Structure 1
């Protein structure tokens, strides 16, 4: 297959892309952009390497959501935050965490589908409830962790891990998953 044939095939597939796939990939792009931009707005000096690595990884994730690009993107953004960000929880951390969760959910949804598939609204609605729960739980856990950490309560790590496990279980069951085999 020549380069012209590959380009023609790619353009035909792009023309046949369904609306649900475009919505999911648009959400990936917007959430990824927020995860790159918001840490850069912080008062600390962010590593210059983070956007240089994250932007190409975001492009790869949008085009190929089932690739390793999404995981590497989240690792770059997270490690960039951990290296230079202040220890306290602020609005930047909460917004970046929400963007990472939204990007993760949209990437998981888009990775299941070929680009040419037509997605019904029912399939999109199935992702709305777990996504909304996950987005709402992130700031609650962040605030609870800040309160527990500020109070210097013994076992605060267990409280935070317990909250994360409870949130994960809530999202799991909201997504319609079951514990046993069907």
Structure 2
């Protein structure tokens, strides 16, 4: 099968898919675009390699959400930020974190489904509460981390780790996850 035939087949399957699958892929594209835009408008100089790797990985994540492209996109975006960004926590970092979180959650949802799956909008309800909690917690944790770091509190790393573990636990139980096999 030639690449053009594969693309034609994928587009036909996507056209036959349900609204939930298309909406999840749209969220991946928009959130990934926001992450790229936030990184691009920063005053510090980001690596030139970041957009050259991140943009194709974002496109590949939208097309094949169950591939390794989504992980590579998130690692490249976060790694580029860690390499060149200033150490302070600000609104741009919180926005980037929320965008990467949305890419992660939408990719996790759409990776469960083949591109031609017919999924009702009700399937998104299970993802709505954990996503809302995570989107609210990201700026709260970022602001708390900035306040703790500026206060020079002994054991601030322990406080941050405990806060993240509690947030992860809250999201886990909000998603109605079970330990072990069902």
* TM class by smaller structure: over 0.9
2: CA distance, partners of 1:172 / 1:161:
16
| TM-score (normalizing by structure 1) | 0.94
Equivalent residue number for residue 133 of structure 2: 133
32-41 or 9-18, larger mean C-alpha shift: 9-18
Cα shift at 1:151: 0.7
Q: 2:16, 2:116 within 8 Å by CA — same for their partners in 1?
A: yes
- Alignment RMSD: 1.5
Residues 40, 103 of structure 1: CA spacing in aligned structure 2 closer, same or farther, 3 A cutoff? same
Cα shift at 1:102: 0.7
Equivalent residue number for residue 159 of structure 2: 159
Residues 166, 4 of structure 1: CA spacing in aligned structure 2 closer, same or farther, 3 A cutoff? closer
Equivalent residue number for residue 93 of structure 1: 93
1: CA distance, partners of 2:155 / 2:126:
36
Structure 2 SS opposite 1:141: helix
Equivalent residue number for residue 177 of structure 1: 177
Equivalent residue number for residue 63 of structure 2: 63
Equivalent residue number for residue 148 of structure 2: 148
1: CA distance, partners of 2:3 / 2:53:
27
1:123 aligns with 2:146: no
Q: 2:18, 2:120 within 8 Å by CA — same for their partners in 1?
A: no
- Give 5+ residue unaligned stretches, structure 2: none
String of CA shifts for 1:64-97, please: whole Å, max 9, x gaps. Answer: 0000000000110011001110111111100000
2: CA distance, partners of 1:56 / 1:3:
16
| TM-score (normalizing by structure 2) | 0.94
Q: 1:18, 1:115 within 8 Å by CA — same for their partners in 2?
A: no
What does residue range 40-55 of structure 1 map to in structure 2 within 5 Å?
Answer: 40-55=40-55
Cα shift at 1:45: 1.1
2: CA distance, partners of 1:46 / 1:81:
7
